Amino acid sequence: MKFNKILLLTIFATIGTIFSFQTNAQTEGITISPLTFELVANPGYKLTNTVKLYNPSDNIISIKMSAEDFRATGESGQVIVEPQEDLTYSLKRWVKIEPTEFTLKSKEEKFVSFTISVPNNAEPGGKYGSILASTTGMIQKEAIGAAIAQKVGALLLLTVSGETKESLILKEFSLSESPESVSFKVRLENNGTVHLRPKGLIVIENCQGKKIEDLEVPATNILPGAIRETDLSWNIKSEDNCYNAYLAGTYGSGNESFSSEKINFKTSLSVSSGSYKSSGTLWILILLFRLLSLWKF
């Protein structure tokens, strides 16, 4: 596997959105839109869509289009664009792009079409690929030169209709405390055959059962076989110092539910505040005593 053929993409936490990626970022370079396609098709169907390329620079840029697969890596929402050894989730081989090579003049935009042909015997489930636009050269005003290689792309998330498996596992729900805040960690694993976008809330109550606050867990796509970690922070606002927190959410087309056990935690914020007041009062009394002693002297 060659390093220069591996691209990293970041899947941001915006609800339902997977953003595009770029390597060797430049101040000026081509852009692509839309940034993601979430599609559904039956076996034997064809889907045709378009992406728009735009050249914001003052130069003429040569472009080459291609399709590639991608897979998840790590737990922070990144994916690697590379050929799939396991064809279970491969989409590249079904994609045809037209045109594949062209030039963009300064401030010019161009629409490029792509067609996904789903085979009649396609297995139901998720298929994942990307439409890539690569710069292959640049014509400047005074000379012809080689530009710094740039690749931008749009992600394709295709679900082939049929009997699919939707399964989500809560791998971890934990917290860590600091004097004025609590940090929560949520790790969810997609154990199914299609991508999932679970929704969830961290419910915070005091130890008497009164709800203090709900923290929304951002809804983000999780690819099959991947684990997604989300970290949230809660600034302590209540005068209580004893709390319970638990996670509750849903996922999939059937809104299946998942939840955690309650975690009990105590904070020292209100206790510290009381200690501060007490020590402040003590210092005032000491100061008054010394002033009175000086007065008598």
Confidence of residue 86 (pLDDT cuts 50, 70, 90): confident
Residue 198 and residue 148 in one domain: no
Tens digits of per-residue pLDDT, 10-39?
333 222 333 333 333 333 589 999 999 999
Q: Mean pLDDT score of the chain, rounded to an integer?
A: 82
Question: How far is residue 186's CA from residue 174's CA, in Å, rounded to a whole number?
Answer: 7
> Same structural domain for residues 31 and 151?
yes
DSSP state of 94: G
| pTM across the whole model | 0.76
Q: Which two tokens stand for residue 191?
A: 């154990």
Q: Report the number of distinct structural domains present in the chain.
A: 2
Answer whether residue 297 is part of any domain: no
Does 100 have pLDDT greater than 80? yes
* Mean local confidence (pLDDT), 172-178: 94
The pair of three-digit structure tokens given for residue 154, joined into one six-digit string = 């749009």
pLDDT category at 236 given cuts 50, 70, 90 is: confident
Clarify whether residues 156 and 172 are in a common domain: no
Domain assignment of residue 53, given as a range: 7-160
User: What CATH number corresponds to the domain at position 21?
Assistant: 2.60.40.10
76 part of a folded domain: yes
Q: Based on the fold, state whether residues 33 and 98 are members of the same structural domain.
A: yes
Burial class (CB in 10 A: 0-12, 13-18, 19+), 201: middle
Looking at the fold, whether 248 and 119 belong to one and the same domain comes out as no
Could you say which of 138, 160, 182 is where a domain stops? 160
120 and 204 both lie in a single domain: no
The CA-to-CA distance between both ends of the chain, in Å, stands at: 88
What's residue 150's pLDDT?
A: 85
